[in-house]
């Protein structure tokens, strides 16, 4: 009888311990094996060589408009930006030629936007009689550096803006498109022009931008910059260095490696 009486509390205690252990979760930056080890809104990610092993990271950014509201000028907020947003791991070849270039992102553009990214850096090229997104070099897109037609990505952005009427998206173009009105035609075909924030409303000489609330109210929620100065007058696309500043850094080793990849691709005829 005594053993039967003492066993029940022991089992109950073990049950509570098991529940407690099961509920324990890692915090951002902690080591993990799977995403189940991490807390809500986090996932387990391996980001070598910055970290050794997998760690819990946040799966979505904090929306700045939810922290402060949207009553400040557009330039008073910080926006999560992805570099080479289109260069997605596992993106299938759209040219039939194996791709030999760098990947930068694991999420689709749609997932990036849904997870809090609000500025996309895209490389646009003339290719196959259209505008494509390519991770290339020397201003020329090749079959082995092409990711997809720009129209496909622009349609993803349009779908996000349509579904999120209080959000603003910025596109920063490393622009190699020389076809007259080539970019304008793609923006028009994607349906993005209806959200266009015009150059005429952009501030000069470092002044504040319009209020976010006003940009949302007027539905001018797409801000686009190009790296080609002449397109500000020819297509109404803001020349980025009239409105932006940047800290420069150089990585010559990576540049050499990229040229080596291009040489390998050429030697193996990974192009049309």
Q: Please check the confidence at residue 48 and state whether its pLDDT lies above 80.
A: no
180-232 pLDDT tens trace: 999 999 999 999 999 999 999 999 888 999 999 999 999 999 999 999 999 99
What DSSP letter does each residue of the chain carry, written as one string?
A: -HHHHHHHHHHHHHHHHHHHHHH--BPTT-B-SSGGGB-TTEEEEE-TTTSSSEEEEESSPPPHHHHH-S-SBGGGS---EETTTT-BTTPPPSSSS---S---BSS-HHHHHHTT--EEEEEEEEETTEEEEE--BTTB--TTTEEEEHHHHHHHHHHHHHH-TT--EEEEEEEE--STTHHHHHHHHHTGGGGBPPGGGS-STTPPPPBHHHHHHTT--EEEEES-TTHHHHT-PEEGGGT--------HHHHHHHHHHHHHHHHTT---
Domain count of the fold of the chain: 2
Pair 85, 200 in one domain: yes
Q: Please check the confidence at residue 118 and state whether its pLDDT lies above 90.
A: yes
Pair 171, 219 in one domain: yes
Pair 173, 143 in one domain: yes
20-42 pLDDT tens trace: 444 457 788 888 988 889 988 78
Residue-range definition of the domain harbouring residue 32? 26-59
**Could you tell me if residue 93 is inside a domain?**
yes
**Could you tell me if residue 227 is inside a domain?**
yes
What is the reported pTM?
Answer: 0.78
pLDDT of 197: 98
**Could you tell me if residue 6 is inside a domain?**
no
């Amino acid at each position: 009888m005594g053993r039967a009486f003492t066993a029940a509390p022991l089992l109950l205690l073990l049950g509570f311990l098991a529940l407690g252990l099961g509920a324990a979760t890692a915090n951002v930056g902690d080591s993990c094996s799977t995403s189940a080890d991490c807390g809500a809104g986090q996932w387990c990610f391996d980001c070598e060589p910055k970290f050794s092993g997998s760690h819990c990271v946040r799966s979505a950014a904090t929306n700045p408009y939810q922290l402060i509201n949207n009553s400040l000028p557009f330039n008073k907020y910080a926006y999560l930006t992805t570099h080479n947003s289109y260069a997605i791991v596992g993106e299938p070849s759209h040219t039939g030629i194996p791709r030999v270039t760098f990947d930068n992102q694991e999420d689709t553009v749609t997932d990036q936007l849904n997870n809090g990214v609000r500025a996309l850096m895209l490389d646009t090229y003339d290719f196959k009689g259209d505008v494509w997104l390519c991770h290339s070099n020397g201003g020329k897109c090749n079959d082995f550096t092409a990711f997809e037609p720009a129209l496909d990505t622009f349609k993803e952005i349009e779908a996000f803006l349509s579904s999120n009427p209080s959000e603003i998206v910025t596109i920063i173009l490393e622009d190699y498109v020389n076809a007259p009105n080539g970019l304008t035609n793609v923006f028009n075909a994607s349906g993005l022009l209806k959200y266009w924030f015009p150059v005429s409303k952009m501030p000069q000489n470092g002044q504040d931008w319009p209020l976010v609330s006003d940009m949302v109210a007027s539905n001018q929620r797409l801000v686009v910059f190009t790296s080609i100065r002449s397109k500000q007058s020819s297509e109404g696309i803001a020349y980025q260095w009239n409105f932006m500043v940047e800290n420069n850094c150089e990585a010559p080793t990576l540049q050499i490696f990229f040229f080596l990849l291009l040489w390998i691709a050429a030697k193996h005829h990974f192009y049309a």
